[in-house]
Structure 1
Amino acid sequence: MSLQLAWNNEQTEYEIDDSLITLLELALQKAGESEGVMDGEVALTFVDDEQIHELNRDYRGIDRPTDVLSFAMNDSLDDELEIIYELEEGETMEGIPEVLGDIIISVTRAKLQSEEYGHSLEREIGFLFVHGFLHLLGYDHQDKVTEDEMMGKQEAVLVQVGLNR
Protein backbone atom coordinates (compact mmCIF):
# COMPACT_ATOMS: atom_id res chain seq x y z
CA MET A 1 0.00 0.00 0.00
CA SER A 2 1.15 3.56 -0.54
CA LEU A 3 -0.15 7.09 -0.65
CA GLN A 4 -2.54 7.46 -3.54
CA LEU A 5 -3.94 10.50 -5.31
CA ALA A 6 -7.46 10.44 -6.70
CA TRP A 7 -8.23 13.56 -8.68
CA ASN A 8 -11.07 15.24 -10.49
CA ASN A 9 -11.17 18.32 -12.71
CA GLU A 10 -14.32 20.43 -12.43
CA GLN A 11 -13.00 23.59 -14.10
CA THR A 12 -12.35 24.55 -17.72
CA GLU A 13 -9.86 27.40 -17.34
CA TYR A 14 -6.71 25.31 -17.41
CA GLU A 15 -6.01 21.89 -18.85
CA ILE A 16 -4.83 19.49 -16.18
CA ASP A 17 -2.30 17.26 -17.91
CA ASP A 18 -0.58 14.04 -16.93
CA SER A 19 2.72 15.79 -16.18
CA LEU A 20 1.08 17.96 -13.50
CA ILE A 21 -0.61 14.96 -11.91
CA THR A 22 2.67 13.02 -11.94
CA LEU A 23 4.37 15.97 -10.23
CA LEU A 24 1.61 16.16 -7.59
CA GLU A 25 1.84 12.41 -6.99
CA LEU A 26 5.58 12.81 -6.39
CA ALA A 27 4.94 15.76 -4.05
CA LEU A 28 2.42 13.64 -2.15
CA GLN A 29 4.98 10.82 -1.75
CA LYS A 30 7.70 13.22 -0.56
CA ALA A 31 5.36 15.03 1.84
CA GLY A 32 4.11 11.71 3.16
CA GLU A 33 7.65 10.42 3.68
CA SER A 34 8.65 13.56 5.55
CA GLU A 35 5.61 13.21 7.83
CA GLY A 36 5.79 9.44 8.28
CA VAL A 37 2.52 8.89 6.40
CA MET A 38 3.05 6.04 3.97
CA ASP A 39 -0.49 4.82 3.28
CA GLY A 40 -3.78 6.43 2.41
CA GLU A 41 -5.68 8.26 -0.26
CA VAL A 42 -6.01 11.97 -0.91
CA ALA A 43 -8.85 13.22 -3.10
CA LEU A 44 -7.95 16.33 -5.09
CA THR A 45 -10.46 18.42 -7.03
CA PHE A 46 -9.65 21.33 -9.31
CA VAL A 47 -12.37 24.00 -9.38
CA ASP A 48 -12.86 27.63 -10.39
CA ASP A 49 -13.38 30.65 -8.13
CA GLU A 50 -17.16 30.41 -8.24
CA GLN A 51 -17.15 26.82 -7.00
CA ILE A 52 -14.60 27.39 -4.23
CA HIS A 53 -16.44 30.56 -3.16
CA GLU A 54 -19.57 28.49 -2.67
CA LEU A 55 -17.71 25.81 -0.68
CA ASN A 56 -15.92 28.42 1.44
CA ARG A 57 -19.23 30.12 2.23
CA ASP A 58 -21.15 26.91 2.92
CA TYR A 59 -18.52 25.06 4.99
CA ARG A 60 -16.46 27.82 6.59
CA GLY A 61 -18.91 30.72 6.68
CA ILE A 62 -16.49 32.92 4.70
CA ASP A 63 -18.26 34.60 1.79
CA ARG A 64 -15.39 34.91 -0.70
CA PRO A 65 -13.22 32.68 -2.86
CA THR A 66 -10.02 31.21 -1.49
CA ASP A 67 -7.12 29.32 -3.05
CA VAL A 68 -7.34 25.94 -1.32
CA LEU A 69 -9.66 24.11 1.04
CA SER A 70 -8.88 20.94 2.95
CA PHE A 71 -11.39 18.61 4.55
CA ALA A 72 -9.77 15.96 6.75
CA MET A 73 -11.59 12.72 7.39
CA ASN A 74 -12.35 11.79 10.94
CA ASP A 75 -11.99 8.61 12.98
CA SER A 76 -15.49 7.40 12.12
CA LEU A 77 -14.42 6.74 8.54
CA ASP A 78 -13.89 2.99 9.06
CA ASP A 79 -17.53 2.55 10.10
CA GLU A 80 -18.69 4.54 7.07
CA LEU A 81 -16.50 2.53 4.70
CA GLU A 82 -17.80 -0.73 6.14
CA ILE A 83 -21.30 0.42 5.26
CA ILE A 84 -20.30 1.60 1.77
CA TYR A 85 -18.41 -1.59 0.97
CA GLU A 86 -20.91 -3.80 2.84
CA LEU A 87 -18.31 -5.93 4.55
CA GLU A 88 -19.46 -9.39 5.51
CA GLU A 89 -18.82 -10.83 8.95
CA GLY A 90 -15.13 -11.62 9.32
CA GLU A 91 -14.03 -9.39 6.41
CA THR A 92 -11.58 -6.57 7.06
CA MET A 93 -10.84 -3.20 5.50
CA GLU A 94 -7.46 -4.51 4.28
CA GLY A 95 -6.79 -3.42 0.72
CA ILE A 96 -9.09 -0.40 0.96
CA PRO A 97 -6.97 2.74 1.37
CA GLU A 98 -7.64 4.99 4.34
CA VAL A 99 -9.05 8.23 2.98
CA LEU A 100 -7.06 11.08 4.52
CA GLY A 101 -9.34 13.76 3.14
CA ASP A 102 -10.20 16.11 0.32
CA ILE A 103 -8.21 19.00 -1.10
CA ILE A 104 -9.95 21.50 -3.36
CA ILE A 105 -7.84 23.96 -5.37
CA SER A 106 -9.16 26.98 -7.24
CA VAL A 107 -7.21 27.05 -10.49
CA THR A 108 -8.51 30.60 -11.04
CA ARG A 109 -6.93 31.77 -7.79
CA ALA A 110 -3.77 29.71 -8.33
CA LYS A 111 -3.25 31.34 -11.73
CA LEU A 112 -3.64 34.85 -10.28
CA GLN A 113 -1.28 34.07 -7.40
CA SER A 114 1.36 32.53 -9.66
CA GLU A 115 1.39 35.75 -11.70
CA GLU A 116 1.50 37.86 -8.53
CA TYR A 117 4.41 35.87 -7.06
CA GLY A 118 6.23 35.56 -10.39
CA HIS A 119 6.45 31.79 -10.60
CA SER A 120 4.81 29.05 -12.66
CA LEU A 121 1.23 27.90 -12.26
CA GLU A 122 2.57 24.38 -11.63
CA ARG A 123 4.60 25.65 -8.68
CA GLU A 124 1.58 27.45 -7.24
CA ILE A 125 -0.65 24.40 -7.62
CA GLY A 126 2.10 22.25 -6.07
CA PHE A 127 2.39 24.68 -3.16
CA LEU A 128 -1.38 24.70 -2.60
CA PHE A 129 -1.53 20.90 -2.82
CA VAL A 130 1.24 20.34 -0.25
CA HIS A 131 -0.30 23.07 1.94
CA GLY A 132 -3.64 21.28 1.78
CA PHE A 133 -2.03 17.92 2.54
CA LEU A 134 -0.38 19.31 5.66
CA HIS A 135 -3.76 20.65 6.78
CA LEU A 136 -5.17 17.12 6.37
CA LEU A 137 -2.50 15.96 8.81
CA GLY A 138 -3.49 18.61 11.36
CA TYR A 139 -1.00 21.38 10.65
CA ASP A 140 -2.23 24.94 10.86
CA HIS A 141 -0.88 28.47 10.62
CA GLN A 142 -2.70 30.44 13.29
CA ASP A 143 0.41 32.22 14.52
CA LYS A 144 3.94 33.02 13.32
CA VAL A 145 5.52 29.91 14.87
CA THR A 146 3.07 27.43 13.32
CA GLU A 147 3.06 29.34 10.03
CA ASP A 148 6.87 29.23 9.83
CA GLU A 149 6.87 25.50 10.60
CA MET A 150 4.27 24.79 7.92
CA MET A 151 6.00 27.01 5.33
CA GLY A 152 9.31 25.27 5.98
CA LYS A 153 7.79 21.84 5.47
CA GLN A 154 6.05 22.96 2.26
CA GLU A 155 9.18 24.51 0.79
CA ALA A 156 11.28 21.43 1.60
CA VAL A 157 8.87 19.20 -0.33
CA LEU A 158 8.62 21.59 -3.26
CA VAL A 159 12.41 21.77 -3.58
CA GLN A 160 12.60 17.96 -3.58
CA VAL A 161 10.24 17.78 -6.57
CA GLY A 162 11.89 20.63 -8.48
CA LEU A 163 9.30 23.33 -7.85
CA ASN A 164 11.71 26.00 -6.66
CA ARG A 165 10.78 29.67 -6.58
Structure 2
Amino acid sequence: MLKIDFHDETNSIDEAFVDLIQRVLAFAAEKEGVIGDTEISVTFVNNTQIQELNRNYRQKDKPTDVLSFPMEEPGEEELDIHDEELPRMLGDIVISVDKAEEQAGEYNHSLEREFSFLALHSLLHLLGYDHMEEKEEKEMFQRQEDILHEFGLERS
Protein backbone atom coordinates (compact mmCIF):
# COMPACT_ATOMS: atom_id res chain seq x y z
CA MET A 1 0.00 0.00 0.00
CA LEU A 2 1.27 3.47 -0.89
CA LYS A 3 1.47 5.85 2.05
CA ILE A 4 1.87 9.53 1.19
CA ASP A 5 3.01 12.14 3.67
CA PHE A 6 1.87 15.60 2.51
CA HIS A 7 3.48 18.91 3.52
CA ASP A 8 2.15 22.29 2.45
CA GLU A 9 4.85 24.93 2.89
CA THR A 10 2.61 27.49 1.13
CA ASN A 11 -0.47 27.06 3.36
CA SER A 12 -2.55 27.33 0.20
CA ILE A 13 -3.41 23.79 -0.86
CA ASP A 14 -7.04 22.78 -0.59
CA GLU A 15 -7.79 19.33 0.87
CA ALA A 16 -9.51 18.42 -2.41
CA PHE A 17 -6.15 18.71 -4.22
CA VAL A 18 -4.45 16.54 -1.59
CA ASP A 19 -7.20 13.93 -1.91
CA LEU A 20 -6.96 13.93 -5.72
CA ILE A 21 -3.17 13.57 -5.71
CA GLN A 22 -3.45 10.79 -3.12
CA ARG A 23 -5.86 8.90 -5.40
CA VAL A 24 -3.85 9.50 -8.59
CA LEU A 25 -0.59 8.35 -7.02
CA ALA A 26 -2.18 5.27 -5.41
CA PHE A 27 -3.76 4.40 -8.78
CA ALA A 28 -0.42 4.87 -10.58
CA ALA A 29 1.47 2.81 -7.99
CA GLU A 30 -1.02 -0.02 -8.48
CA LYS A 31 -0.68 0.25 -12.28
CA GLU A 32 3.12 0.12 -11.92
CA GLY A 33 2.96 -2.99 -9.74
CA VAL A 34 4.23 -1.36 -6.53
CA ILE A 35 3.37 -3.70 -3.68
CA GLY A 36 4.06 -3.85 0.02
CA ASP A 37 4.33 -0.89 2.35
CA THR A 38 5.81 1.92 0.30
CA GLU A 39 6.09 5.56 1.35
CA ILE A 40 6.66 8.85 -0.42
CA SER A 41 6.38 12.45 0.64
CA VAL A 42 4.80 15.27 -1.37
CA THR A 43 5.71 18.83 -0.45
CA PHE A 44 4.12 21.95 -1.91
CA VAL A 45 6.42 24.99 -2.10
CA ASN A 46 6.61 28.36 -3.85
CA ASN A 47 8.94 29.35 -6.70
CA THR A 48 11.59 30.79 -4.37
CA GLN A 49 11.81 27.54 -2.40
CA ILE A 50 11.95 25.27 -5.46
CA GLN A 51 14.53 27.54 -7.12
CA GLU A 52 16.77 27.11 -4.08
CA LEU A 53 16.39 23.31 -4.24
CA ASN A 54 16.97 23.31 -8.00
CA ARG A 55 20.13 25.42 -7.56
CA ASN A 56 21.49 23.31 -4.70
CA TYR A 57 20.75 19.85 -6.14
CA ARG A 58 20.76 20.35 -9.92
CA GLN A 59 22.93 23.47 -10.28
CA LYS A 60 20.10 25.19 -12.18
CA ASP A 61 19.39 28.60 -10.66
CA LYS A 62 15.77 28.95 -11.74
CA PRO A 63 12.38 27.77 -10.53
CA THR A 64 11.06 24.50 -11.92
CA ASP A 65 7.68 22.81 -11.65
CA VAL A 66 8.56 19.61 -9.81
CA LEU A 67 11.59 17.86 -8.35
CA SER A 68 12.05 14.21 -7.42
CA PHE A 69 14.45 13.02 -4.75
CA PRO A 70 14.71 9.21 -4.86
CA MET A 71 15.78 7.42 -1.72
CA GLU A 72 16.84 4.36 -3.71
CA GLU A 73 18.86 4.32 -6.87
CA PRO A 74 18.52 1.29 -9.14
CA GLY A 75 21.37 -1.13 -8.58
CA GLU A 76 22.28 -4.64 -7.55
CA GLU A 77 21.89 -3.98 -3.83
CA GLU A 78 18.47 -2.32 -4.04
CA LEU A 79 15.09 -3.91 -3.52
CA ASP A 80 12.82 -4.27 -6.51
CA ILE A 81 9.61 -2.15 -6.46
CA HIS A 82 7.71 -5.43 -6.64
CA ASP A 83 9.41 -6.79 -3.50
CA GLU A 84 7.14 -6.51 -0.48
CA GLU A 85 9.54 -7.68 2.22
CA LEU A 86 10.10 -4.33 3.93
CA PRO A 87 8.39 -0.98 4.27
CA ARG A 88 10.24 1.22 1.80
CA MET A 89 10.69 4.94 1.35
CA LEU A 90 10.74 5.67 -2.39
CA GLY A 91 11.58 9.33 -2.00
CA ASP A 92 10.33 12.89 -2.01
CA ILE A 93 8.28 14.88 -4.49
CA VAL A 94 8.44 18.68 -4.36
CA ILE A 95 5.87 20.66 -6.38
CA SER A 96 5.95 24.40 -7.02
CA VAL A 97 2.42 25.72 -6.55
CA ASP A 98 3.37 28.90 -8.43
CA LYS A 99 4.63 26.96 -11.46
CA ALA A 100 1.65 24.57 -11.39
CA GLU A 101 -0.77 27.52 -11.50
CA GLU A 102 1.23 29.18 -14.29
CA GLN A 103 1.41 25.99 -16.38
CA ALA A 104 -2.25 25.13 -15.93
CA GLY A 105 -3.00 28.49 -17.55
CA GLU A 106 -0.39 28.02 -20.29
CA TYR A 107 -1.66 24.54 -21.21
CA ASN A 108 -5.30 25.60 -20.79
CA HIS A 109 -6.24 22.82 -18.40
CA SER A 110 -7.32 22.61 -14.79
CA LEU A 111 -5.05 23.02 -11.80
CA GLU A 112 -6.27 19.57 -10.72
CA ARG A 113 -4.84 18.05 -13.90
CA GLU A 114 -1.57 19.99 -13.58
CA PHE A 115 -1.01 18.93 -9.96
CA SER A 116 -1.87 15.33 -10.91
CA PHE A 117 0.46 15.40 -13.92
CA LEU A 118 3.37 16.82 -11.88
CA ALA A 119 2.90 14.38 -9.00
CA LEU A 120 2.62 11.42 -11.39
CA HIS A 121 5.64 12.59 -13.40
CA SER A 122 7.68 12.72 -10.21
CA LEU A 123 6.42 9.33 -8.98
CA LEU A 124 7.49 7.76 -12.26
CA HIS A 125 10.96 9.23 -11.74
CA LEU A 126 11.03 7.68 -8.26
CA LEU A 127 10.13 4.35 -9.88
CA GLY A 128 13.06 4.59 -12.30
CA TYR A 129 11.59 6.25 -15.39
CA ASP A 130 13.64 8.98 -17.03
CA HIS A 131 13.55 11.26 -20.05
CA MET A 132 17.18 12.01 -20.78
CA GLU A 133 17.01 10.27 -24.17
CA GLU A 134 14.26 10.59 -26.78
CA LYS A 135 13.16 6.94 -26.50
CA GLU A 136 12.94 7.16 -22.68
CA GLU A 137 11.06 10.45 -22.94
CA LYS A 138 8.46 8.99 -25.32
CA GLU A 139 7.97 5.97 -23.05
CA MET A 140 7.68 8.04 -19.87
CA PHE A 141 5.34 10.67 -21.29
CA GLN A 142 3.16 8.02 -22.93
CA ARG A 143 2.94 6.17 -19.60
CA GLN A 144 1.91 9.41 -17.86
CA GLU A 145 -0.81 10.10 -20.42
CA ASP A 146 -2.07 6.49 -20.28
CA ILE A 147 -2.35 6.55 -16.48
CA LEU A 148 -4.01 9.99 -16.37
CA HIS A 149 -6.42 8.99 -19.16
CA GLU A 150 -7.33 5.72 -17.44
CA PHE A 151 -7.79 7.58 -14.16
CA GLY A 152 -10.12 10.01 -15.95
CA LEU A 153 -7.94 13.14 -16.13
CA GLU A 154 -7.55 13.91 -19.80
CA ARG A 155 -6.19 17.05 -21.38
CA SER A 156 -8.82 19.70 -22.02
Q: Using structure 2 for the length normalisation, give the TM-score.
A: 0.86
Structure 1 contact 26–161 (Cα < 8 Å) conserved: no
CA RMSD in angstroms comes to: 1.8
- Indicate yes or no: 2:116 matched with 1:126: yes
Q: Which residue of 2 aligns with 1:60?
A: 58
- Partners of 1:130 and 1:110 lie apart in 2 by 13
Q: Deviations over 1:69-112 (max 9, x none)?
A: 0000027xxxxxxxxxxxxxxxxxx9973111000000100110
Q: Which amino acid aligns with 2:6?
A: W
Deviations 1:101-149 (A, max 9, x none): 0000001001100000000111001000000000001111012211111
Distance across 1 between alignment mates of 2:52 and 2:65:
12
**Residues of 2 paired with 1:35 and 1:71: CA distance?**
19
One-letter amino acid matched to 1:72: P
Choose which of 80, 90, 108 in structure 2 pairs with 1:100: 90
Residues matched between the structures, number: 144
Runs of 4 or more, structure 1, over 4 Å off, are none
Secondary structure class of the residue paired with 1:100: strand
- Cα distance in structure 2, aligned partners of 1:95 and 1:102: 21
2 CA distance for matches of 1:156 and 1:21? 21
Q: Structure 1: which 5+ runs fail to align?
A: 76-93
User: Is 2:10 aligned against 1:11?
Assistant: yes
1:73 corresponds to which of 46, 71, 74? 71
Larger radius of gyration: 1
Mean CA deviation greater in 57-66 or 33-42: 33-42
| Partner of residue 152, structure 1 | 142
TM-score (norm 1): 0.82
Q: Where does structure 2 lack aligned partners over 5 or more consecutive residues?
A: 74-83
Q: CA distance change for structure 1 residues 53 and 3 in 2, over 3 Å: closer, same or farther?
A: same
Question: What is the CA–CA distance in structure 1 between the aligned matches of 2:44 and 2:151, rounded to whole Å?
Answer: 20
